[in-house]
Structure 1
Amino acid sequence: MSLSTAAAGSLLPLAVAIPLIGAVLAPLLARWSRHAALIGCLVGMGGALAVLALVAPKVFGGTILVHYLGGWKPVGGAALGIAFAADPFGLLCALSIAGIGLLLLVYVLSELGGLGPRELGGFACLFELLLSALIGAALTGDLFNLFVWFQVAALSSYGLTGFFLERPIALEAAFKILVLTTLAGFTVFIGAGLLYVHTGALNFGQLHLALPAAAGVLDAVALGLLLAGFATKAGLVPFHGWLADAHTAAPGPVSALFSGLMVNLGLIGISRLALQVFPGSGLPVLGALMVVGLCSAVLGAALALAQDDFKRVLAYDTVSQMGVITVGFASGSTTGVTGAVYHLVNHALFKSLLFLCAGAIVHRTGQTSLRALGGLARKAPAITVAFTIGAASIAGVPPFNGYVSLSLIHKGLTETHQDVPYAIMLVAQLLTVGALGRATWLAFFRREPQDTEIEAPLPSHERLRPGMAVGLVGLSSCCIAFGVLPQRILRYLMEPAAGGLLEAGRYAAAELRSGGTIVPTHVSFDYADWQELAITIITLALAALGVRAYLRARRDPAPLRLLRSLHTGSANDYTAYAVLGLVVLVAALRWG
């Protein structure tokens, strides 16, 4: 028996409330049993996933579910209450957060289950609280409510980053993320306030209808503030200063949570603003995002190539991948936006997988330096296979998932004759393949250095714990499945999600009428596209030659040395970069 639209919509708050209850109970359960806290969190996240899966057929069938808390429904086109709105894009994000979050919790149960009851209870509470906030952000239909979930996620991230306070790097990283995301939260709050003053609206649908066709100075300033705030959460250049330190300091599962899922909150906000709220405002929002995305894609990949720390390589690659997704959204084309949605999910899968692998290696060897590692393919074959799958996925190697989404983004640029962005994207992809290929070679496939003493060598006989194996196998399997079944994934998931983003008018009407429908996009994907296959082969070959030359070089090229010199590690410098980026972004929106 299928649920009615009203009944399905009324279930949406449970997807957030159930894991929130799990987070609250975690410290109490930990007093009874160390494992009870994480098991309670597993039940909570499993409950959220079940609720989302229950409404998924209706939403991906083209229905937008809307539920106004307290029954405060819109009156005369004005939204008086806070809305949860599950369009296909938001539900897809929420499902990926709940599903991957569940795998991460299983992994944590094995890797960190030996913590003391008090510590494990606090850790589980913060972990589940962050996941709850991300699900809430994906399902909200209100700008101020999005700000609230932004803040809840930020508070959780501070605690998780600095959780192991005995490590000085953890406390320093927590301070940096505190400074940068507090600034970001302030800009989001002020931007939302300015829009409310001008339009009297905070609901996404009402904002879309209330904004004039020729937006003025106030709207440009508000949009610039909002985009800068969400770009900080997404780790886009030049708002990315917090990201590498936070990822490096945190344990592997937390880094996976940050890089695979938390940064998506920023892109959720950016995509909704650009495609569902401001598409008819006359502001050059897509052009500004295209520049930010291209800079992030290239500079993030270049910084990843120049790193020796295992997790910093992956962290800066996250900056690059966030840029790639932003370029897809900014292309404005049906194919490009569909590819961006696909890559958003793919990134959550393969980056979570890579950080779990890196965290496991660092946890058991005590080494973070790539040059001090080596020979892990023999000592840790399971981790080697999982890491190689993740790296090949990012590299866009068929039949893994990254090949599909990258091909669609590239096709979206060529269809709209954006040749310069397309060329820059190919450069970014070349650098990305080089950075991940270098890390894979140094850590896994070359011989172990004889002149380096590893603090806690990884025994060749040691096996992964069951929960850790479940996490790695689950994520690896998804990377493969999303690559070998692209037509089904596109038809049932990605095309409805992209259609919801591109049908701003339908989304607005649905929010203000407590429900509605959308029309899915239709894109084609061909594995045998000779141009994309040729580009992939050429990219892999050039990257291999480049990495070989880079490893033999005595020093980094001048551009890389300049980039590294700008990343001083100072919170003051990173704040200055963010403020400068905000000013430039507002100016581009106003006079671009």
Structure 2
Amino acid sequence: MTVNPALLALPIVLPIGGAVLAPLLSHLSSRVPLIVSLLALGGASAVLLLFAPDVYGGQVLGHALGNVGPINGRQLGITLTAEPFGLTYALLTAVIGTLLLLYSLSELGGLGAHEAGWYACLAQLLLAAMIGTALSADLLNLFVWFEVAALASYGLTGFFLERPWALEATFKMMVLTNLAGFFVFVGTALLYARHGALNLGQLQHTLTGSTADLVALALLLAGFGTKAGLMPFHGWLADAHSAAPGPVSALFSGLMVNLGVVAIARLALDVYAVHRAALPAILLVLGPLSAIAGAALALGQDDLKRLLAYDTVSQMGVLLTAVGAGSMTAVTGFVYHLIDHALFKTLLFLCAGAIVHATGMTRLSQMGGLARHRPLATAAFLLGTASIAGVPPLNGYASLGLIHDALRSDHPAAFGAVLVAQVITVAALGRAAYLAFFRRRDDDYDPLERRRPGALIAFGALAAGCVLFGVVPRFVVDHLAAPAAAVLLDPNGYAAAALAGQARPHPAPPPFNYFAPDELLIAIGCIAAGLLLCAWYVRRSAEPRVITFLRRVHTGSVNDYAAYSIVGLITCAAVLLALA
């Protein structure tokens, strides 16, 4: 029996309700707000799981809030949709968000009641915004959730107000994401002024490829590209990740940045389907640029959390490259890698946060020998690193294999760029693992805290996810990634659901041979080359000039980063107009 689509609002309402209750109940105990958060996110996860059998079974459901349905093909109200792509991101957000709140209950249990209440409030608002983004079929509501996520992220980044660098990171984030929000708002207004529509399905039917439509697309790409941390819109990301508390960094990198790339994929493949000739020119440049430059910046970092943050820029570039390729295999790999990134990057940031929390150190040059003192964090970090590196049978191997298959013949330049980025990523994370965990350190650490149960559960669940999604790739492809890709590549079907109806896409899962010799050779080659680069870089006394140049471009000035965003926007608009 099909679940009533009217329940689609509940996974958004529950965490918002929890956000309201958390500070109000904080006077009872510092743990009550986080327990309320766990109940709210657990309830949201349960409701989303109710839709899973129908949605992954082939249905795309739409619900107009207030039962304000379309009139003469025009949707006047707000529409929510349940389809495999959005549901996948919503489930990732709810489940991993629950784990992060459980981790917070353990690691941040020393917070005062007032601080715990507001921490839980902000975290739930951010998670509600991401779930809302996943389920929204309305451009204005994408903007609303963008702004809700932004406001919550400002509070979480500057949560420890006594730290000057946290305030500086919050200021940069506010300037750049407010600029991005302005881009999204103006792009939305342009489309509404021209077409009188905000519903994504209605827009898909009415877009004509006019100059206004293309300028709006450039504005939307720049706005959501900022949230995704894509170059050249990424200036806020490294500072925010390094300044925020450990669980918040994991939340930002594992889930929040995905909000931007989810919105871009929806717009590029479902809404602006008529412009598929021009869009790849943008996506297949921004994607490889972010992948290589982000990995190179990660290789040159001494701060562990900044290193992981720049690796997130690189991974977002890989995802955008797959969206730009636009084939069934590429988009299936994109969805698969989106799931994988949420798992392994959340795990890595929790490891980094645990290390910083226990030692008070953030710089790799100060660390060493942690494998003896922190065996659990060591094992989890190595597992996450191996997942990103594409070591079989972990999850990154399968998703990267699909992306490689899609790019190899049709987009050889992008394929080469992704491989180069992969090699540098292996080197960067391998260097971090060596310096932090295995390098000899003569000075001993102060007595380290015993790991609490909530942290153990979070570490174990994320590590198990990295393994599980790697050993059952055929199941993931057939039942999760391929149905999601089918909706993204069926704009008419999605439009029918977005106009408060139903659709039934018929996915044809791409061919995928887990033991294909060429993909095994690519994986082994990238890992071997990455380890050799890591060994060379660790022994090298002087920094390579290309990394020095990239670091100098990142001046730390918010004015420079805003200028990069404006130049990126103008370039995107010029290319789209030239190729239209």
- TM-score, normalised relative to structure 1: 0.96
State the match for 1:3 in structure 2: 2
CA contact (8 A) 1:274 1:286 kept: no
Q: Which moved more, 1:533-542 or 1:365-374?
A: 533-542
Cα separation, 2, equivalents of 1:86 and 1:572 = 40
Cα deviation, residue 291, structure 1 = 0.4
- 1:385 is matched with 379
**2:158 is the counterpart of 1:162:** yes
Say whether the 8 Å CA contact 1:283–1:590 is kept in structure 2: no
Equivalent of 1:468, from 455, 459, 477?
A: 455
Match of 1:177 in 2: 173
- Code of the aligned partner of 2:148: V
Q: Does 1:372 align with 2:383?
A: no
Q: In the alignment, which residue of structure 2 is the partner of 1:234?
A: 228
- Any idea what the Cα deviations from partners look like across 1:312-339, whole Å, max 9, x if unmatched? 1100000000000000111011100000
The CA deviation at 1:287 is: 1.7
Could you say which residue in structure 2 is the equivalent of 1:295?
289
SS class of match (1:20):
helix
Query: Which residue matches 1:423?
Result: 416
- Tell me the residue number matched to 1:16: 12
**CA 1:40–1:561 in 2, change beyond 3 Å: closer, same or farther?**
same
Structure-2 change in CA distance of 1:41 and 1:559 (3 Å): same
Please give the alpha-carbon distance, in whole angstroms, between the structure 2 residues aligned to 1:540 and 1:546. 10
Aligned length: 579
Give, in whole Å, the separation in 2 of the partners of 1:567 and 1:458: 37
Over the aligned positions, Cα root-mean-square deviation in angstroms equals 1.1
Q: Which moved more, 1:230-239 or 1:490-499?
A: 490-499
TM-score by length of 2: 0.98
Please give the secondary structure, in 1, of the residue aligned with 2:72.
Answer: coil
Q: Could you give the per-residue CA deviations for residues 320-366 of structure 1, whole angstroms, max 9, x where no partner exists?
A: 00000000111011100000011011101100000000000011101
Matched, 1:137 2:108: no
Select the residue among 64, 69, 72 that pairs with 2:68: 72
Moved more, 277-286 or 14-23: 277-286
> Given the alignment of the two structures, is residue 263 of structure 1 paired with residue 257 of structure 2, yes or no?
yes
Q: Is the 8 A contact 2:394 2:469 kept in 1?
A: yes
More deviation in 198-207 or 276-285? 276-285
1:187 is paired with a residue of what secondary structure? helix
Report the alpha carbon displacement of residue 560 of structure 1 after superposing the two structures with TM: 0.6
Alpha-carbon separation, structure 2, partners of 1:175 and 1:309: 20
Of the three residues 434, 441, 446, the one matched with 1:457 is: 446
What is the distance in 1 between the residues matched to 2:382 and 2:534?
Answer: 17
Code of the residue aligned with 1:68 in structure 2: it is: A
- Specify which of 33, 48, 52 is matched with residue 52 of structure 1: 48
1:118-129 paired onto structure 2 within 5 Å: 118-129=114-125
Contact residue 12 and residue 67 of structure 1 kept, 8 A: yes
Aligned to 2:549: 562
Q: CA deviation at 1:217?
A: 1.2
The answer to whether the aligner puts 1:405 opposite 2:399 as a matched pair is yes
Query: 1: distance between equivalents of 2:275 and 2:565?
Result: 25
Once the two structures are TM-superposed, the CA of residue 282 in structure 1 deviates from its matched residue by 6.0
CA deviation map 1:36-80 (0-9, x unaligned):
100000000000000000011111111111111111111111011
Offset, 1:283: 5.5
Deviations 1:363-404 (A, max 9, x none): 110111101111111111111111111010001111110001
Partner residue, 2:476: 489
Name the residue aligned to 2:508: 521
Q: Which residue does 1:285 correspond to in 2?
A: 279
Q: Following the alignment from structure 1 to structure 2, what is the Cα–Cα distance between the partners of residues 282 and 180?
A: 28
Q: CA deviation at 1:458?
A: 5.1
The answer to whether the aligner puts 1:87 opposite 2:74 as a matched pair is no
The Cα of 1:111 is off from its aligned counterpart by 0.2
Q: Which residue of the other structure, out of 107, 112, 115, is the alignment partner of 2:103?
A: 107
Larger displacement relative to structure 2 (524-533 or 38-47): 524-533
> Quick one: which of 294, 305, 313 aligns to 1:311?
305
Deviations 1:127-186 (A, max 9, x none): 111001100010000000000000000000000000101000100000000000000000
* Mapped contact 2:268–2:276 kept (Cα < 8 A): no
Counterpart CA distance in 2 for 1:292 and 1:346 is 21
Distance 2:338 2:508 in 1: 17
Q: 2:529 aligns with which of 542, 546, 550?
A: 542
**Identical positions, percent:** 56
Q: Which residue of 1 aligns with 2:354?
A: 360
Q: Which amino acid aligns with 2:422?
A: Q
Which residue identity lines up with residue 457 of structure 1 in the other structure? D
1:491: Cα distance to partner? 1.2
Unaligned runs of 5+ in 1: none
How many Å separate the matches in 2 of 1:522 and 1:458?
Answer: 52
1:27 aligns with 2:51: no
Q: Does residue 334 of structure 2 align to residue 343 of structure 1?
A: no
Tell me how far apart the structure 2 counterparts of residues 418 and 283 of structure 1 sit (CA, whole Å). 14
* Aligned residues of 1:301 and 1:320 also touching (Cα < 8 A): yes
Q: Distance in 2 between matches of 1:546 and 1:68?
A: 54
1 CA distance for matches of 2:397 and 2:310? 20
Could you say which residue in structure 2 is the equivalent of 1:191? 187
Aligned 8 A contact 2:93 2:130 in 1: yes
SS in 2 for 1:238: coil
Measure the CA separation in 2 of the matches of 1:493 and 1:547: 35
SS at match of 1:236: coil
- 2:486 aligns to what? 499
Amino acid at match of 2:554: H
Equivalent residue letter for 1:569: G
Contact 1:283 1:589 in 2 (8 A): no
Determine the C-alpha separation between the residues in 2 that align with 1:458 and 1:427. Answer: 41
- Matching residue within 431, 439, 450 for 1:438: 431
Please tell me whether the aligned partners of residues 379 and 458 of structure 1 are also in contact (alpha carbons under 8 angstroms).
no
CA distance in 1, matches of 2:447, 2:200: 52
Q: Given that residues 211 and 281 in structure 1 are in contact (C-alpha distance below 8 angstroms), is that contact kept between their aligned partners in structure 2?
A: no
Query: By how many angstroms is 1:414 displaced?
Result: 2.1
Q: 3-state SS of the aligned residue for 2:27?
A: helix
Tell whether 2:517 aligns with 1:530: yes
Deviation at 1:249, TM superposition (A): 0.1
Aligned residues of 2:64 and 2:500 also touching (Cα < 8 A):
no
Q: Any conservation in 2 of the 1:73–1:514 contact (CA below 8 Å)? A: no
Alignment correspondent of 1:325: 319
Do residues 148 (structure 1) and 144 (structure 2) align? yes
Q: Does 1:583 align with 2:570?
A: yes
State the alpha-carbon separation in 2 of the partners of residues 199 and 61 from structure 1: 34
Q: Which runs of 5 or more structure 2 residues have no equivalent in the other structure?
A: none
8 A contact 1:244–1:315 mirrored in 2: yes
Name segments (4+ residues, structure 1) moved above 4 Å: none
Q: Which residue of 1 aligns with 2:238?
A: 244
Match of 1:394 in 2: 388
Amino acid aligned to 2:71: V
